[in-house]
Amino acid sequence: MEELDLNEIIHLIWRRKVIILLFIILGTICGYIYNNNFTTPMYIASTTVILSVNLDDEDIISHKNETVTNDDIKLSESLIDTYQKIIKSNAVASGIKKNLKISLSEKDISNSISLKNDLNTMVIEIMVTNKDPELALLIANEVPNVFFEKIVGIYNIKNAEILDKAEKPSAPFNINPSKFACIGFFIGLCISGLIIIIETLFNEKIKTEYDIDEKLKIPVIAKIGNVPKEEVSLVTSSTSSCSEIFRVLLSNIKHLNSKVVLVTSCNPSEGKSFIASNTAITYARSGKKTLLIDSDIRRGRQHDIFGITPYKDGISNLIQKDTPKINFDNYISHSPNIENLDIITKGTACIDYSKLLYTDTFVQLIEQLKSQYDFIIIDGTPKSLVADDIAFSSVVDCTILVVRYNKVLLSDVKKVTNMETIKRNRLRIVLNGIPSLTGKYQYNYYKYSNSNQLIVKKLFNKKKEQIN
């Protein structure tokens, strides 16, 4: 699987920043409030005992045994685990309850005792936890006394002594709102991350080139970042970095020996008109006579992009012509700013769509136009809405499917690629609107790739005179 690059990861986090911040803030606040208001304060009192030489009362008084032998040490080491189990036993808990006359059960007393023994030492730390600091202190200091009695009774030896007596705890160990706020912070971060991961795993929308290359086995010939909505999205300079992506796009199209190219998409608003118009402009700048046809009769917008009057006759009017020879001059708009570029808009006629779908009229028109132009690009209809492009199947040399990032389901693209009208071996994909590439583009040209700034400007001022 292709790994997400750093830009993709950063964008994924940025796109879900509200969810992340919400869970982080919520986790932090909940952690602080829970610990400060709902956590029962607990206190720890601890005492330490050390396993020493086996002494009797007379030895202690006379100080005769002052040397610790290896046998004594080995005996103490071998008894450490046993002694810890004795301390936690019900017998010791019962003795503590009896001596202190407390109402706690033996099980509660035993559970309140925890032990710690550092490696390679004969020191046992006895810690007692209780919500009453006084009771914690009493139990902690009583544990060694009862423990010593038990080992004398069991082993008839006294080889343990109190090293440090317990002191009354001054503050509860489990009340630390700042600490719990930090814990809540990380829990919120983890939960938000988990939600994003789950959403990513179950989201079938196309977000990476891998989704197309590996799962559909269709080449991606360009990846383009977001274009600001306020831009008309036309390349105005042949030296702009945006024009470079379309030059490479055309090189890939030429590699397929394509003269007539259909640009389509699965759904509306994926950027097919943006791709079609700029591809046509770029080809025209190369000195080749280029024709751009807006065949999206329902929602075509090439007249808006190029500032052409919407009342200009176009493809819908041409379809109604039955004469074998047509004077295209009445239907073609010439771009004054882009040399070698002609445009046929969607037109003004309300046609019977079956005339477009099931007759050869459009095919005959394209065949006539092919003799007049070096390159014809057709701005088609979204495939999921209508099948108007069925009429193009016999004349189109290559189909460019524009797929918008995180908008199109993989299943939708599969349906389009499986259409009988699509020449799969002549199908290429442009991945458009990638947020992590905002202001940039990427393209695949043989094995060469690049990234540069995307510069798009308005080709026409709306106040300028419309093209007739």
Separation of alpha carbons 145 and 140, rounded Å: 10
| Domain span(s) for CATH 3.30.70.1130 in the chain | 41-164
Q: For domain 41-164, which CATH number applies: 3.40.50.360, 3.30.70.1130, 3.30.43.10, 3.40.50.300?
A: 3.30.70.1130
**H or E element in which residue 80 lies:** helix 70-87
**Is there a contact between 310 and 416 (Cβ–Cβ < 8 Å)?**
no
Starting at the edge strand that comes first in sequence, how are the strands of the sheet with 333-334 ordered? 333-334, 341-344, 290-294, 375-379, 260-265, 398-404, 427-434, 220-225, 440-443, 451-453
Amino acid found at 309? T
| Domain span(s) for CATH 3.40.50.300 in the chain | 207-453
**Is there a contact between 83 and 124 (Cβ–Cβ < 8 Å)?**
yes
| CA-based nearest residue to 209, from 36, 443, 454, 411 | 443
* CATH superfamily placement of domain 207-453: P-loop containing nucleotide triphosphate hydrolases (3.40.50.300)
pTM: 0.58
| CA-based nearest residue to 281, from 457, 463, 461 | 457
pLDDT in single tens digits along all 468 residues of the chain = 444 556 666 767 887 889 899 999 999 999 999 999 999 999 999 999 988 766 555 544 444 445 555 555 565 667 788 889 999 999 999 999 999 999 999 999 999 999 998 877 889 999 999 999 999 999 999 999 999 999 898 888 888 899 999 999 999 999 999 999 999 999 999 999 888 777 777 777 777 777 777 777 888 888 877 765 544 456 555 555 567 778 878 888 878 788 899 998 888 888 888 889 988 998 898 889 999 999 887 788 888 888 888 888 888 888 777 666 777 888 888 887 788 999 999 888 776 655 555 556 777 888 888 889 999 999 988 875 555 555 566 678 888 889 888 888 888 888 877 775 666 678 888 888 877 555 545 544 433 333 333 333 333 333 333 333
Token pair listed for 385: 């809405």
Through-space distance between the first and last CA atoms of the chain, rounded to whole angstroms:
52
Token pair listed for 165: 């007596």
Query: Token pair 């590699």 is at which residue?
Result: 255
